[in-house]
């Protein structure tokens, strides 16, 4: 367990798509619930197509089951777990430890997904990071995305970091996330200082929610905010809002929002903001919700969004007219 899982209470240890060929689409999971592991293969080996993908199931992911892919042959390896785990159907002391898809051909200029389902052991603590090594073989050459950072080491310093996801607080009944352990409102991620991430509460049944944050780049090179995640939203975009005469217009920001060296960019009501879409739950005022902000250079950075009341113009809850 210790070789595959490390505590990550501070800055992100998640490899981003910009830095790796193999990544996990879902960056968070809660103890004791099901996790849908979607391994995304971003490109091949020096221009050659991918013909085989093998995923090692780490200790603590129980009862893993692969999803078949048309045109690919599926194989699994079973073995004993290091301990016996409680599951939804009793206990388990062994299960699938590796899944391999082979015989297909994924061209270098295309992207595809290889999916498995597993239960996350209830023994994981919120804040831990789980690493899922991936072996990618091509018509010529291969990549082994299996490096796991040592204590105190940043995964972004590794050349072939294993894909990973973060353990967060289990959700409450009804889909609303439980309040996370209070976290500092300021997070450092390399040269970036991330201050006061927050959301507006939404009424039940709402399909979108707004997110806001202040980001300062203290380094000498630019970085770009490309997206964000929260457990109750299926997707997100960065939007701009502006006035043209008496008409307010909103539009997605193509390519992300760049923070130049020495610059501070604030996402706030009436301007740039995060738009979380296809909601499966409603954030409630007073909650603290674990999420991520994703950057081209800094990667996926864990943050905690506080939730202000509906219509608030600031994280403290002042109403915006």
pLDDT at 243: 66
pLDDT of residue 27: 86
Cβ 35 vs Cβ 165: under 8 Å: yes
Q: Tokens in use for 284?
A: 């409630």
Two structure tokens written together for 193: 């200082």
Distance CA 311, CA 200 (A): 7
Closest CA to 292 of 6, 7, 4, 11: 11
pLDDT at res. 183: 41
pLDDT along the chain (321 residues), means of 10: 38 36 85 86 93 96 94 96 82 94 95 92 87 96 92 80 84 38 66 93 90 94 92 90 73 91 94 92 84 88 88 66 39
CB 31 within 8 A of CB 170: yes
Give the chain's domains with CATH numbers.
Answer: 5-167 (2.60.40.2230), 186-308 (2.60.40.1890)
| pLDDT for res 144 | 95
User: What per-residue confidence (pLDDT) applies to 205?
Assistant: 87
The C-alpha atoms of residue 164 and residue 128 are separated, in whole angstroms, by 10
Q: What is the pLDDT of residue 141?
A: 94
């Amino acid at each position: 367990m210790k070789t595959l899982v490390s505590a990550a209470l501070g800055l992100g240890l998640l490899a981003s798509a910009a830095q790796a060929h193999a990544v996990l689409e879902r960056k968070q999971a809660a103890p004791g619930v099901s996790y849908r592991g979607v391994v995304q293969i971003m490109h091949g080996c020096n221009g050659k197509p991918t013909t085989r993908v093998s995923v090692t199931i780490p200790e603590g992911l129980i009862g893993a089951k692969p999803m078949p892919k048309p045109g690919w042959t599926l194989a699994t390896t079973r073995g004993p777990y290091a301990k016996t785990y409680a599951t939804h159907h009793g206990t388990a002391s062994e299960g699938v430890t590796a899944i391999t898809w082979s015989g297909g051909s994924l061209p270098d200029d295309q992207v595809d997904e290889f999916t498995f389902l597993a239960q996350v052991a209830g023994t994981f603590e919120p804040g831990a990071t789980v690493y899922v090594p991936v072996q990618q073989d091509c018509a010529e050459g291969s990549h082994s995305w299996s490096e796991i950072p040592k204590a105190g080491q940043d995964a972004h310093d590794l050349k072939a970091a294993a894909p990973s996801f973060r353990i967060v607080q289990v959700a409450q009944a009804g889909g609303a996330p439980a309040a996370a352990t209070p976290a500092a409102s300021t997070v450092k991620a390399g040269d970036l200082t991330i201050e006061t991430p927050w959301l507006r509460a939404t009424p039940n049944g709402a399909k979108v929610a707004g997110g806001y944050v202040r980001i300062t780049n203290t380094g000498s090179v630019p970085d770009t905010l490309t997206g964000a995640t929260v457990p109750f939203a299926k997707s997100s975009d960065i939007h701009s809002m502006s006035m043209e005469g008496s008409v307010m217009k909103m539009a997605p920001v193509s390519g992300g929002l760049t923070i130049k060296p020495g610059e501070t960019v604030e996402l706030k009501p009436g301007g740039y903001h995060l738009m979380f879409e296809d909601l499966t739950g409603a954030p409630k005022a007073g909650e603290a919700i674990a999420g991520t902000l994703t950057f081209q250079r800094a990667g996926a950075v864990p943050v905690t969004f506080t939730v202000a009341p509906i219509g608030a113009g600031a994280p403290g809850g002042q109403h915006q007219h």
